Amino acid sequence: MEDEVDRLVAAWRRERPDLDVEPLEVLSRVSRLARHLDRARRLAFTEHALEPWEFDVLTSLRRAGAPYQLSPGQLLTQTLVTSGTMTNRIDRLTKKGLVERLPDPNDRRGVLVRLTGEGQDRADQALAGLLDQERALLAELSRAQRAELAGLLRQLTAPFDNVPGPG
């Protein structure tokens, strides 16, 4: 079965036989798959009236376990956005009734962000919808192939995920 990347690679091999274009065979497919995944994610989130960034914040809180709360700093670490961006996101989610701010009992100046019942319901429903979309993307692979692919991708991504941050 031929795909668009096969055609792209063949064209580059014809036009630039002096270059080793083998990395394109893997990474162009990863890039194209990422675009398809982004579309599937947006569809799943739209069905639950959420933006991708809202899903990221709500599911970070949901994964934290009961009582489903984190500090803004912990949310920053999990969602990889700036402090100002996170403050704006928390404000917007609070106005929608999906999260609430609470005083941090361990820090008089600090706050905790807690998922509301509605926020938990929306996160759970959107996650179920996302998983349906993602299963459809992986439908052509057997369980063993999915496990093998996950392992190979882990090898590629782990060095990026395990880089120490600024001191």
DSSP state, residue 116 = -
Question: 110 phi and psi, to 5 degrees?
Answer: -90, 165
pTM for the whole thing? 0.79
CA dist 107 and 157 (Å) reads 35
Strand order across the beta sheet in which 99-103 lies: 69-70, 111-115, 99-103
Confidence at 131, pLDDT banded by 50, 70, 90: very high
The per-residue pLDDT for 163 is 64
Residue 73 belongs to what H/E stretch? helix 72-79
Q: Is residue 166 scored above 80 in pLDDT?
A: no
As a whole number, mean pLDDT of residues 143-152 equals 96
The per-residue pLDDT for 164 is 63
What is the chain's mean pLDDT, rounded?
Answer: 92
Helix (H, G, I), strand (E, B) or coil at 100: strand
The per-residue pLDDT for 88 is 94
The per-residue pLDDT for 165 is 57
CA dist 93 and 47 (Å) reads 17
- pLDDT tens by residue, 88-114: 999 999 999 999 999 988 888 889 999
Structural tokens at position 151:
């392992």
The per-residue pLDDT for 106 is 85
Q: What percent of the chain has pLDDT over 70?
A: 97
Q: Is residue 167 scored above 50 in pLDDT?
A: no
Q: What percent of the chain has pLDDT over 90?
A: 74
